[in-house]
């Protein structure tokens, strides 16, 4: 069968009027940066890119060398193209303006340059997550407030997963499409058209070591899954936890499942563990486009109006039947 490249896919999407030239260029540039990140990650100790920098980021996490490298690759790849008005990164406290010598475009790009980087030094899959918004005022220089838009406003979102294969998974609001990097030829091939999440699943992903901190609805839901066919669900379930959101969400998108990082007694003060603008929103957009659901326990994640750039949120996403059950348990708790 003739191979379709990412570039050809994007050209045909633009020809069909489903994305404009600037958004096409944006995705191409992100894909180019992702290829550079994939090569750098694959070198590991060979290029001495493992280990920590000793510097804390805005999240209070000690940055890995590859966190910094991936962040720089994405910023440098995107600053000169003329398609962006500004950028925001998990690794940088303030928004990143476009250098004055370059023209500004109409899009805002947000990203977690290397999600799950605690897995890097032990050679477990990690990823890059990105979200695209429109600059609300093309005449004004963007501020943090320009980025504080609900997830429903996203023009596109996606992630790269650096696993046995490097894959790019993308939505521009017309379904979810997957591409696999052919390293020898150096380009992404369209391999997964219209990815969909099965309505039902028998697989869940949660960090079970936090069980003692969970709220009652989550505790009830997980205990029922663990009870399996001896409990109210009447069938057995399987558990997976990679501790890399991109890996756990990619598995969920690929074969169904439910991923939970709920509000708990440990993360309640921060509002949750995962970040809304460049982790939860892009993943929620993809999951809904694939026929799944994404909530914070009670509300649709995409409808949350952000208050701060690095705001955190509880995340429960995946196969709709399971996500709706978790929502029902929260509503029953609220009504009791
Ligand atoms: P825990 C990685 O640090 C991350 O932000 C997500 O990629 C992942 O789902 C989660 O945190 C893992 O958290 O508490 O299990 O280490």
Q: What tens-digit pLDDT sequence spans the chain (336 residues)?
A: 789 999 999 999 999 999 999 999 999 999 999 999 999 999 988 887 787 887 888 777 778 788 899 999 999 999 999 999 999 999 999 999 999 999 999 999 999 999 998 898 899 999 999 999 999 998 899 999 999 999 999 999 999 999 999 999 999 999 999 999 999 999 999 999 999 999 999 999 999 999 999 999 999 999 999 999 999 999 999 999 999 999 999 999 999 999 999 999 999 999 999 999 999 999 999 999 999 999 999 999 999 999 999 999 999 999 999 999 999 999 999 999
- What residues flank ligand 1, with Cβ below 6 Å? 115-116, 118, 207, 243-245, 248, 261, 274
Interatomic CA distance for residues 213 and 200, integer angstroms: 27
E strand map for 165-318:
166-171, 176-182, 187-192, 203-205, 238-239, 258-261, 274-275, 293-295, 312-313, 315-318
- Tokens, residue 309: 């750039």
Q: What ipTM was reported for this prediction? A: 0.98
Query: Residue whose CA is closest, atom 9 of ligand 1?
Result: 245
- Tokens, residue 27: 């995705």
Interatomic CA distance for residues 191 and 311, integer angstroms: 34
pTM above 0.95, yes or no: yes
Query: Residue whose CA is closest, atom 15 of ligand 1?
Result: 243
| Secondary structure of residue 228 in the 3-state scheme | helix
Best residue among 115, 243, 252, 266 to mutate for probing ligand 1's pocket (most ligand atoms within 8 Å of CB) is: 243
* Shortest-distance atom of ligand 1 to CA 115: 7
Q: Is 118 annotated for ligand binding?
A: yes
Q: What is the Å distance from ligand 1's center to 305 Cα?
A: 23
What Cα–Cα distance (Å) separates residue 96 from each residue in 86, 124, 278? 6, 30, 14
């Amino acid at each position: 069968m003739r191979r379709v490249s990412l570039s050809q896919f994007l050209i045909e999407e633009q020809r069909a009027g489903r994305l404009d030239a600037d958004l096409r260029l944006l995705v191409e540039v992100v894909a180019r940066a992702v290829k550079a990140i994939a090569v750098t990650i694959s070198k590991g100790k060979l290029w001495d890119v493992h280990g920590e920098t000793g510097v804390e980021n805005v999240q209070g996490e000690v940055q890995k060398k590859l966190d910094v490298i991936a962040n720089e690759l994405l910023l440098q790849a995107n600053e000169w193209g003329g398609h962006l008005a500004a950028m925001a990164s998990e690794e940088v406290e303030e928004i990143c303006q476009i250098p004055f010598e370059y023209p500004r475009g109409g899009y805002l790009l947000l990203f977690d340059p290397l999600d799950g980087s605690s897995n890097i030094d032990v050679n477990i899959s990690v990823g890059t997550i990105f979200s695209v918004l429109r600059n609300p005022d093309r005449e004004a220089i963007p501020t943090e407030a320009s980025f504080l838009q609900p997830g429903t406003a996203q023009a596109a979102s996606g992630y790269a997963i650096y696993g046995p294969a490097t894959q790019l998974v993308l939505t521009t609001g017309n379904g979810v499409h997957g591409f696999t990097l052919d390293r020898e030829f150096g380009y992404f091939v369209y391999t997964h058209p219209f990815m969909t999440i099965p309505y039902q699943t028998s697989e869940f992903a949660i960090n079970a070591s936090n069980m003692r901190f969970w709220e009652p609805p989550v505790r009830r839901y997980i205990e029922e899954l663990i009870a399996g066919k001896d409990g109210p669900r009447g069938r057995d379930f399987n558990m997976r936890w990679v501790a890399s959101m991109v890996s756990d969400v990619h598995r969920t998108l690929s074969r169904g499942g439910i991923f939970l990082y709920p509000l708990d007694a440990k993360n309640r003060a921060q509002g949750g563990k995962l970040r809304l603008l460049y982790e939860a929103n892009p993943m929620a957009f993809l999951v809904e486009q694939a026929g799944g659901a994404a909530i914070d326990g009670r509300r649709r994640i995409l409808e949350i109006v952000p208050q701060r750039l690095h705001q955190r949120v509880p995340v429960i996403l995946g196969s709709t039947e399971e996500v709706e059950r978790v929502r029902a348990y929260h509503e029953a708790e609220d009504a009791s």
